[in-house]
A and B are shown apart, each in its own frame.
Chain A
């Protein structure tokens, strides 16, 4: 190669650097990344103390990375590169078959703590018929789709371990989800949640255990509300080559609801929030994402019985099924609800049934449930 060639290459790379530098300076900064569903780092305030302790520099560096021009594009280039060099998992997500992305399940850390906390909680409200439903995630049900030899910890082992030591009723959903997964998609391909079908079959198991006759699948009017859902795993892996998901709703005729988002002081007549269907975060369509407390009243039913659901986001697509059987369903998310849940139950004398519903991954890391009282 001639010497002048080095000069030309150096020139081109310098242009790229300067171009991105200039773009960074002049491009408008976004506060919120829809793709990653998080607030981006803003320019940090300079404080002497932060500077000495290194926090200022750290924030400044995340500010630069978060607001880098073409950030999403660069992330997909990285994923593409990883795929080319033969990686089968990216950012804790397996690139599985049939267009599935499947989140890894790592060894649980808090099983015994969870058992202790939940048993204790059950004691304080022992007049309520409490149920625990630990939902398996896609990795347990779609195991066959994982890359060959993919290392994973067995979710069923965790569920059984916890169920064996829980002093109240537990609900098994693994068998039915596995079975029905042959007919319908129980989990989204690109999101970490179960589909409305998955939620439906889990609901039938809950109903069976509590002497409720579940509605059959064909009593519902099943509607596809979007076929363009690219969920959290899509964003986490930045693998944009896979088929988007559909979201379905299961509606019954002639039932009207009143949905009270207590902390926002908003009352609606539906459990679905249409505005999310045009955004990236489409799972929030169910129950308007996560709220500390939602109270759903069924106007068309003749019972006084009320249910409390203590839950993570998996419940959001299952609550609409439960709302068909109770006068009221109180939905509490312990991550955001800061008061005592047992006090809440005491104040609402008609709460006869309780359901603690988590997926087996989040329950291990969720600080809300570990602090439940």
Chain B
């Protein structure tokens, strides 16, 4: 089930929340677990077993690692290795097997049949969560969870199950046992959820459709301008979709009394690629930093080893986003850019004016999304050459003019809301004396936008779930 849908907003969520607030405190975790399983089973009735399996394995590993922590280093190691092997095998088998087979086939020119398994939704999120739990127990960063139902609740929690943020066990372990559930938490969470919903339905879906148009347009109707419009549309779609999803997750977490980590911090205002990655999908980059980069030695090693570490991390980051070569390329692209910024032109970049820093960053980010958007290398090449006017498409034509005009307002809105305007407005409004009128205006905005969202959802418009590859 996706958040931005009629069944979720009008049936699943209200029924769940009413029950959640009514039942006694002790039962709340179990209720959350049951509803999370229903939520997952809604789209993936079979693969739910996989998630339960992953939870059982890591629950056991956690207990065993704890048991042997003091007196048996070998066994302690063994259970950590089991956790890593099991989780990576699950991921490898369901997510990467066909990619591997396909690559071997084309490399050796043979024809091993593909497995053609559907990718279980959220598998990259829950395997990472359970694995990080075992590692944290091993390192002694957290205590092992003794209550299996609580552990299972942590793994399956529906708000962040299918699109993040990646919540580590240590971040919610206290709240799993003891959290305060208040009316204010519900209200603040609801506001955050609505903001995410508006981002997803009103901006991401709307502008995303322009990319669908551009990428399916016959070559003889394409133009340089159209190809840029398409990829810019995709750039905004993926930000508003993904950060909207994170907002909804964080908001629902608040309603339930959980504090999830922030996942996006206005990435498109960055002045360098390094800064961009501190602001984009924060829970993922910090995951790779803590569980791959630092264990490999991080930056406290010889320069050449450091370069290797960075490239490994970014190749894996790319691969995490989907089992296809363009994602590897996308990851390495960022690895190389970050290396360049780190070792070559950080000094030069510092001296440039701010507008150049923004332009430089966004240009590279947009090119990055171009690589990300096309998993077929031939189509990617074709699209890229159109963007740079190679291959004889016209610079601009009627189609481009039409779509430019039709999507101008939504582009302007997307640009405005990529910047921290909400934060700014909140600060400014906190100084306003007449709080009543501020309240009335915000009430009208939220109500009207919510009704518009419902009208889009009822209408069965373009409403994709972009993370089915993750």
A236 → chain B, closest Cβ, in Å?
11
Quick one: given A74-B458, A78-B459, are A10 and B7 in contact (CB under 8 Å)? no
Q: Which of B5, B43, B190, B457 is in CB contact (< 8 Å) with A14?
A: B190
How would residues 51 to 75 of chain A score, 1 for a CB under 8 Å from any chain B CB and 0 otherwise?
1101001001110110010010011
CB-based contact B221/A5 at 8 Å? no
A150 CA to B42 CA, complexed, in Å: 41
List the one stretch of B240-248, B288-296, B446-454 in contact with chain A: B446-454
A147 CA to B187 CA, complexed, in Å: 44
Quick one: given A16-B447, A60-B7, are A71 and B458 in contact (CB under 8 Å)? yes
Q: Given the complex, which residues of A lie within 8 Å of B426, measured CB to CB? A: 1
Tell me if B420 is interfacial: C-beta within 8 Å of chain A.
Answer: no
CB-based contact B6/A61 at 8 Å? yes
B280 → chain A, closest Cβ, in Å?
27
Q: Which residue of B lies closest to A57 (CB)?
A: B42
CB-based contact B451/A77 at 8 Å? yes
CB-based contact B10/A20 at 8 Å? yes
Chain A: residues with Cβ within 8 Å of the partner, total of 46
CB-based contact A13/B447 at 8 Å? yes
Q: Which residue of B lies closest to A51 (CB)?
A: B45
Q: Given the complex, which residues of A lie within 8 Å of B438, measured CB to CB? A: 1, 5
Tell me if B97 is interfacial: C-beta within 8 Å of chain A.
Answer: no
Tell me if B9 is interfacial: C-beta within 8 Å of chain A.
Answer: yes
Q: Given the complex, which residues of A lie within 8 Å of B206, measured CB to CB? A: 85
Quick one: given A1-B439, A7-B187, are A61 and B7 in contact (CB under 8 Å)? yes
A89 CA to B402 CA, complexed, in Å: 10
CB-based contact A16/B187 at 8 Å? no
Q: Which of B43, B194, B406 is in CB contact (< 8 Å) with A88?
A: B406
In chain B, positions 430-464 with a C-beta closer than 8 Å to chain A are 430, 435, 438-439, 442-443, 446-447, 450-452, 454-461
How would residues 1 to 42 of chain B score, 1 for a CB under 8 Å from any chain A CB and 0 otherwise?
000011101110010000000000000000000000000001
Tell me if B405 is interfacial: C-beta within 8 Å of chain A.
Answer: yes
Tell me if A24 is interfacial: C-beta within 8 Å of chain B.
Answer: yes
Tell me if A107 is interfacial: C-beta within 8 Å of chain B.
Answer: yes
A25 → chain B, closest Cβ, in Å?
10
Q: Which residue of B lies closest to A13 (CB)?
A: B450
Q: Given the complex, which residues of A lie within 8 Å of B408, measured CB to CB? A: 86
Complex A-B: 11 CB contacts under 8 Å: A1-B439, A2-B439, A3-B184, A3-B187, A5-B438, A6-B191, A7-B187, A8-B443, A9-B443, A85-B413, A149-B401
CB-based contact B6/A65 at 8 Å? yes
Q: Given the complex, which residues of A lie within 8 Å of B5, measured CB to CB? A: 61
Q: Given the complex, which residues of B lie within 8 Å of A8, measured CB to CB? A: 439, 443
A21 CA to B7 CA, complexed, in Å: 10
A217 CA to B261 CA, complexed, in Å: 76
Q: Which residue of B lies closest to A48 (CB)?
A: B45
Q: Which residue of A lies closest to B426 (CB)?
A: A1
Tell me if B305 is interfacial: C-beta within 8 Å of chain A.
Answer: no
A3 CA to B406 CA, complexed, in Å: 39
Tell me if B188 is interfacial: C-beta within 8 Å of chain A.
Answer: yes
Q: Given the complex, which residues of A lie within 8 Å of B461, measured CB to CB? A: 78
Q: Residues of A with Cβ closer than 8 Å to B? A: 1-3, 5-14, 16-18, 20-21, 24, 51-52, 54, 57, 60-62, 64-65, 68, 71, 74-75, 77-78, 81, 85-89, 107, 147-151
Q: Given the complex, which residues of B lie within 8 Å of A74, measured CB to CB? A: 451, 454-455, 458-459
Q: Which of A1, A54, A86 is in CB contact (< 8 Å) with B409?
A: A86
Q: Given the complex, which residues of B lie within 8 Å of A12, measured CB to CB? A: 443, 446-447
Q: What total of A-B pairs shows CB separation below 8 Å?
A: 136
CB-based contact A6/B406 at 8 Å? no
Tell me if B186 is interfacial: C-beta within 8 Å of chain A.
Answer: yes
A5 CA to B444 CA, complexed, in Å: 12
A2 CA to B43 CA, complexed, in Å: 40
A148 CA to B10 CA, complexed, in Å: 40
CB-based contact B455/A81 at 8 Å? yes
CB-based contact A150/B402 at 8 Å? yes
How would residues 214 to 256 of chain B score, 1 for a CB under 8 Å from any chain A CB and 0 otherwise?
0000100100000000000000000000000000000000000
Q: Given the complex, which residues of A lie within 8 Å of B459, measured CB to CB? A: 74-75, 78
B143 → chain A, closest Cβ, in Å?
35
Given contacts A20-B454, A75-B459, 6 further A-B contacts (CB under 8 A): A5-B435, A61-B5, A65-B457, A89-B406, A148-B401, A149-B398
How would residues 43 to 64 of chain B score, 1 for a CB under 8 Å from any chain A CB and 0 otherwise?
1011000000000000000000
Tell me if B357 is interfacial: C-beta within 8 Å of chain A.
Answer: no
CB-based contact A57/B43 at 8 Å? yes
Q: Which residue of B lies closest to A20 (CB)?
A: B10
Q: Given the complex, which residues of B lie within 8 Å of A86, measured CB to CB? A: 405-410
B402 → chain A, closest Cβ, in Å?
4
CB-based contact B454/A6 at 8 Å? no
CB-based contact B443/A52 at 8 Å? no
With most chain A CB atoms within 10 A of its CB, the pick from B188, B401, B439 is: B439
Quick one: given A57-B42, A148-B402, A151-B402, are A77 and B452 in contact (CB under 8 Å)? yes
Quick one: given A1-B426, A13-B450, A52-B46, are A64 and B455 in contact (CB under 8 Å)? no
Q: Given the complex, which residues of A lie within 8 Å of B460, measured CB to CB? A: 62, 65
Tell me if B321 is interfacial: C-beta within 8 Å of chain A.
Answer: no
